[in-house]
Amino acid sequence: MLKKEVILEGLDCANCAAKIEDEVNKLNGVKAYMNFMNKTLTLEIESEQEYKNILQQVKTIVHKHEPDVVVKEKSVNKSNKKVLILEGLDCANCAAKIEAQTSSLEGVEFAA
């Protein structure tokens, strides 16, 4: 079993996220897990050969529910990954604003 993660950039509807997860799980040979907070969809598939076809099907499903969401393959270069701990942050709205603004910084590929 192969695990792949895709980022659903711009996904802001929890209801749509649940619908996307349900529909992707109906694809033959796919198990899918949505993490709405991180905007990621984890796919468990049988082989690398199936991945490109499944990814295209996932994009179709996502765009049916959320036409403006960008589906990106997640690739993290561990040497460039940084984790910052924001002590005392207790407001989900503020956290979302920080995430959005950090994501838009030059050189930042993904922020959560």
pLDDT, tens digit, for every residue of 34-70? 999 889 999 999 888 888 899 999 999 999 999 999 9
In whole angstroms, what is the distance from residue 92 CA to residue 23 CA? Answer: 28
- What is the dotted CATH code of the domain comprising 2-73? 3.30.70.100
**Would you kindly state where each structural domain of the chain is located, as residue ranges?**
2-73
What 90-97 contacts at long range (C-beta under 8 Å, 24+ apart), as own/partner pairs, is none
Report residue 84's pLDDT band, with 50, 70 and 90 as the boundaries: confident
pTM, full prediction? 0.67
Confidence (pLDDT) at 49: 83
User: Strand runs (DSSP E) across the chain, as ranges?
Assistant: 2-9, 31-35, 40-45, 70-73
